[in-house]
Structure 1
């Protein structure tokens, strides 16, 4: 029976935390070792291609977490508008709780590494595609045609990512809350017109 990868997940978790707080370039391998508690040799064992391969794993992990959150909200909320407002409350609370130090680990890594690091770019595409897919399916369930649902899902994802950056800069929940409220109004108004 193969050995359980004891230190791989703690390394990834540490990278997610550090990348969202200080970005890829400002995070050193020693920082990841310190936060993860893993021996330095584990970094090279699990990620022999170096720090960019840790970034790929961190983007994949962060994407999985976000998709799980959005999927749960899609199950619990009666409409996409409700989902957006609920997600905004979570995001705004998370940002405020960090003193607006944290950003999205996916976005921070992609801003620094895409498009030159193709594996990182691909991990980012998959992370965003998963979130967009969940929103698209919820919009279709709300009665939107697939092409319109796809466009709205891209808009919602992009707008909320931008709102996270703006919230961090302004040190305020407001950009996230306003963005979600306005997106929800747009979608609800279009639903009523049909």
Structure 2
């Protein structure tokens, strides 16, 4: 694929990511994605023959990779889970506030709207969440949380649920306060 084609494809995915995170999959039209991307309609069918589901799936995967990279960057400076998890929560909250509360978790909006109606996108969302939970569990195990049983996995699921819930509540109230409250509890939980 030519460089120009790669650039067009990347612009379409970036536009879809931004719009889908703020408006959901159902609230985002393909014409709107093309307008934001500055791409002709034929590009959509050329780069995403699977249609809107393929585009949204790739946008979600890109968002998941962005959060993975953020976690990796933070983990390099904060190897202890009790320091890493609050920093991840802060970074996601900062991102949300900077977007005027139009963004929260880059996966949650779609996960909530398609969980029972679109198996393809449900699997993408579930895979991203499973990856994040696994990363949290690995950090917790490295920090000395029980590896012999499911304690680290259970704690990772709890922490991820707290993060997701805090972002949803903060976005709904247009206030960082839910994030601050959950942050304090996460620090206590991981101490």
The answer, yes or no, to whether TM exceeds 0.5 is yes
- Deviation per residue, 1:18-72 (Å, 9 max, x gap): 0111221111111100111221111111212221111111111111111111122
- Measure, in 1, the Cα distance between the counterparts of 2:38 and 2:30: 12
How do 1:52-91 residues align onto structure 2 when only pairs under 5 Å count? 52-91=53-92
Is this contact kept in 1: 2:95–2:104, CA < 8 A? Answer: no
By relative contact order (CA 8 Å, sep 6+), the higher-ranking structure is 1
The equivalent residue for 2:175 is 172
How do 1:20-169 residues align onto structure 2 when only pairs under 5 Å count? 20-146=21-147, 147-169=150-172
How do 1:1-12 residues align onto structure 2 when only pairs under 5 Å count? 2-4=1-3, 5-6=5-6, 7-12=8-13
Is this contact kept in 2: 1:113–1:120, CA < 8 A? Answer: yes
Tell me the SS of whatever aligns to 1:144: coil
Is this contact kept in 2: 1:80–1:138, CA < 8 A? Answer: yes
- Deviation beyond 4 Å, 4+ runs, structure 1: none
| Paired residues, number | 187
Tell me the SS of whatever aligns to 1:105: coil
Deviation at 1:148, TM superposition (A): 1.0
Deviation at 1:83, TM superposition (A): 1.0
The Cα RMSD (Å) is: 1.5
Tell me the SS of whatever aligns to 1:87: helix
Is this contact kept in 1: 2:92–2:105, CA < 8 A? Answer: no
Tell me the SS of whatever aligns to 1:84: helix
- Measure, in 2, the Cα distance between the counterparts of 1:133 and 1:73: 16
Q: Which runs of 5+ in 2 are unaligned?
A: none
Is this contact kept in 2: 1:70–1:131, CA < 8 A? Answer: no
